[in-house]
């Protein structure tokens, strides 16, 4: 569902400035803290350490793994702030493994990879994730594409020096040096890795019940698309188990040697796969009576017959949870209730694409599970008539910003976000979770023919009435438009009817009216003056002028679109400027030329960076809806007034030569059209208030 172009608008400066996580403030020192949302992204695994109470770990599809802090009841990210070698330029951890024989719980391994690349590696920690080192093995790891897989890295419970890792299948089924199954016999030390075989697995698992051979665990399983491969000689050879299910995805093992396996492909929309059990040297099918694809499975460590499992079908069998007390001979469906104390904004079913179950090894009724959005916990998995699951998401921030962030200068919201999968929020606070989100107003769509989430790519407000909010996006990655407006600061939204070729992109709203300009992704641009009831094309703007690509992740937070927010009633002129080189769009949508020096001077009153950025088509678009202010006008030779030069404006009005107030401004590299981190524009507009003295605007939270 979700693909990680960038992590959540993860950092917000305390006070009034909010920036994307990829930007760095260099002019001042800021205290950075996460914006409180809670969860919001695919949580791919959860594990409990078998020898340390209340020590849990989760992994996600686009970011850091997390460690559970039981005393504070919150998750702690393990990699973002540590700057571990091997993490840079990758930024996502697929799977985590601990040494099950380490009573301290300090030895950890994670597989990490790029969000779109396959340049993965393994990192190791010996202090429970506080610091990490690179094991220096190159692997095909792509965390966002591994949501359906099981545990691909494991430590031998009988020999802490032995570590196995298996990878996803090679592209086009061509095995390369980065695909297959690998092992280290020196605790993951650099240079200690060797390739075991070309098996590409969804899981690798040691079975200590089979004893040892040559100082290592005798029995090892690798789950592949063709079935479960088993070694009974400590990994020297592997063979397909007779009668094994195919397309296996997840596995759990009881200490008695009983194996529970799920299989199937949830994306087909048709029943396939099932639940299978290996016991007494034979495979049996123990699927619940409802046909479907199954994913998460777990067995109670204290009782080999107590099992929980989840179906994972987008249609028609949905996401059901089942429990069994007799080893899968019979099943009871669990009715799910949601404790939303930590995620009040969530407005959909829980258990969507449940990825893992995890039984607490010290509490026989406590179970966790993970899904598309959270990690959940119940203290009574046998409750009736329903099981209450609490989304434990404090500290777990894992949404993906694919649109702009906006911090209005006034009004009911301190921040407006536009993110993947769940739309975003109108934040009333940065330290408390939002009470309501776009999921309520723009619900997810799941039918027999369409399965999509709501992806917001643009948000804007009317500057003089910030309760008027406009939002644009698209259903799924490349689907139809997903747009609407609010007149009450986000308490409610009304969806508008979009032009047939309009979806995604960016939107801007006039500072003094509800006029909207929508620059869509790939296609044309439109203008509306009636809250989206009708849209008039702007033929003078080329298609794809701002954002190309064919899905919402082609955008990221780049490519800004903004309406001018300088207010003045003194100028008799009214211009709407659309930035594209030196061309402008007037109020009627007609293109006309404007001298580039005048455009730069009026829109970007910053001389230091005047010659940088904002050059060339498609790099930025600035719309000016307001009447441009002419500072202290003077007569020219023809009886017409013209503005003073910029340096004289400042000197004449008594303003400082170097502005001290700041407003966020993002520069683009005109050669690559990519953000240049660290370049923030100092920008201030001076204007008259009609009483012959100079006013300066208050600091805009951006």
CA distance 156 to 522: 51
With bands split at pLDDT 50, 70 and 90, how would you rate the model's confidence at 115? low
Integer CA distances (angstroms), 687 to 597, 647, 649, in order? 20, 15, 10
∠ CA 36-39-45, nearest 5°, is 145
Q: Under a CB-based contact definition with an 8 Å cutoff, are residues 494 and 531 in contact?
A: yes
CA distance 556 to 398: 15
Most confident of 175-184, 185-194, 637-646: 185-194
For range 274-300, the mean pLDDT: 93
Integer CA distances (angstroms), 112 to 60, 107, 199, 340, in order? 11, 16, 19, 31
| Cα R_g (the chain), whole angstroms | 28
User: What DSSP character marks residue 425?
Assistant: B
Average pLDDT of the residues of the chain: 78
Which are the contacts of 245, defined by CB distance < 8 A and separation ≥ 6?
227, 228, 261, 263, 273, 274, 276, 283, 285
Give the three-class secondary structure for 109: strand
Q: For 339-393, write each residue's pLDDT tens digit.
A: 999 999 998 889 988 999 999 999 999 999 999 999 999 999 999 999 999 999 9
> Which of 486, 507, 496, 378 minimizes the C-alpha distance to 437?
486
Query: Residue 534's Cα: distance from chain center in Å?
Result: 33
pTM for this prediction:
0.78
Query: Bigger pLDDT: 387 or 621?
Result: 387
Look up residue 245 and give its two tokens. 């299910």
Q: For 43-68, write each residue's pLDDT tens digit.
A: 999 999 999 999 999 999 888 999 99
CA distance 376 to 701: 35
Q: Residues for the chain: how many in total?
A: 702
Residue 647: phi and psi, rounded to 5, are: -65, -30
Q: Under a CB-based contact definition with an 8 Å cutoff, are residues 80 and 391 in contact?
A: no
CA distance 564 to 663: 13
Looking at residue 643, what is its pLDDT? 55
Looking at residue 312, what is its pLDDT? 82
Integer CA distances (angstroms), 165 to 62, 122, 131, 209, in order? 20, 9, 21, 21
């Amino acid at each position: 569902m979700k693909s990680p172009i960038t992590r959540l608008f993860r950092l917000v400066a305390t006070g009034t400035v909010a920036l994307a996580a990829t930007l760095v403030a260099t002019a001042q020192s800021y205290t950075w803290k996460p914006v409180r949302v809670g969860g919001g992204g695919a949580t791919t695994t959860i594990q409990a350490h078998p020898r340390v109470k209340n020590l849990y770990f989760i992994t996600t599809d686009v970011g850091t793994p997390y460690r559970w802090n039981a005393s504070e009841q919150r998750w702690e990210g393990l990699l973002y702030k540590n700057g571990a070698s091997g993490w840079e330029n990758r930024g996502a951890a697929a799977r985590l493994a601990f040494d099950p024989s380490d009573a301290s719980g300090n030895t950890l391994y994670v597989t990490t990879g790029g969000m779109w690349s396959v340049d993965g590696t393994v990192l190791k920690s010996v202090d429970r994730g506080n610091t990490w080192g690179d094991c220096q093995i190159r692997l095909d790891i792509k965390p966002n594409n591994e949501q359906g897989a099981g545990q691909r890295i494991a430590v031998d419970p009988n020999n802490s020096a032995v570590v196995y890792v298996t990878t996803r299948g090679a592209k086009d089924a061509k095995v390369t040096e980065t695909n297959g199954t690998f092992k280290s016999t020196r605790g993951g030390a650099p240079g200690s890795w060797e390739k075991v075989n070309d098996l590409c697995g969804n899981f690798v698992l040691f079975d200590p019940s089979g004893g040892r051979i040559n100082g290592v665990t005798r029995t090892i399983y690798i789950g592949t698309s063709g079935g479960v491969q088993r070694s009974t000689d400590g990994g020297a050879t592997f063979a397909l188990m007779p009668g094994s299910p195919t397309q296996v995805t997840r596995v759990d093992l009881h200490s008695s040697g009983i194996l529970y396996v799920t299989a199937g492909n949830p994306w087909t929309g048709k029943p396939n796969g099932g639940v299978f059990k290996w016991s007494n040297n034979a495979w049996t099918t123990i699927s619940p009576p409802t046909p479907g694809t199954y994913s998460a499975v777990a067995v109670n460590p204290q009782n080999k017959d107590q099992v929980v499992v989840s179906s994972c079908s987008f249609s028609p069998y949905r996401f059901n949870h089942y429990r069994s007390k007799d080893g899968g001979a019979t099943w009871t469906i669990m009715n799910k209730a949601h404790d939303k104390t930590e995620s009040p904004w969530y407005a959909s079913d829980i258990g969507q694409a449940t990825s893992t179950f995890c039984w607490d090894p010290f509490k026989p009724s406590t179970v966790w599970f993970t899904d598309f959005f959270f990690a959940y916990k119940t203290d009574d998995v046998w409750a009736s008539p329903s099981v209450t699951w609490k989304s434990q998401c404090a500290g777990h921030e894992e949404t993906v910003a694919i649109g702009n962030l906006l911090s209005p200068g006034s009004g009911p919201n301190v921040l407006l976000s536009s993110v993947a999968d769940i739309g975003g929020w109108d934040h009333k606070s940065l330290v408390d979770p939002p009470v309501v989100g776009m999921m309520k107003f723009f619900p997810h769509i799941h039918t027999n023919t369409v399965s999509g989430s709501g992806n917001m790519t643009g948000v804007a407000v009317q500057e003089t009435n910030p309760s008027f909010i406009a939002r644009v996006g698209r259903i799924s990655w490349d689907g139809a438009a997903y747009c609407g407006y609010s007149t009450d600061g986000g308490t409610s939204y009304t969806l508008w009817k979009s032009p047939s070729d309009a979806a995604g992109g960016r939107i801007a709203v006039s500072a003094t009216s509800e006029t909207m300009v929508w620059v869509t992704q790939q296609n044309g641009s439109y203008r509306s003056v009636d809250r989206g009831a009708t849209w008039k094309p702007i033929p003078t703007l080329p298609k794809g002028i701002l954002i190309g690509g064919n899905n919402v992740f082609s955008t990221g937070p780049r490519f800004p679109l903004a309406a001018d927010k300088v207010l003045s009633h003194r100028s008799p002129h009214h211009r709407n400027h659309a930035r594209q080189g030196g061309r402008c769009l007037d109020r009627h949508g007609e293109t006309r030329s404007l001298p580039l020096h005048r455009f730069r001077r009026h829109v970007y009153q910053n001389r230091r960076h005047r010659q940088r950025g904002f050059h060339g088509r498609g790099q930025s678009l600035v719309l000016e809806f307001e009447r441009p202010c002419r500072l202290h006008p003077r007569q020219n030779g023809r009886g017409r007034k013209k503005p003073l030069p910029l340096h004289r404006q400042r000197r004449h009005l008594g303003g400082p030569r170097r502005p001290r107030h700041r407003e966020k401004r993002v520069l683009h590299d005109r050669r690559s059209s990519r953000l240049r981190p660290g370049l923030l524009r100092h920008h201030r507009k001076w204007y008259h208030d009609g009483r012959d003295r100079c006013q300066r605007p208050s600091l805009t939270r951006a």
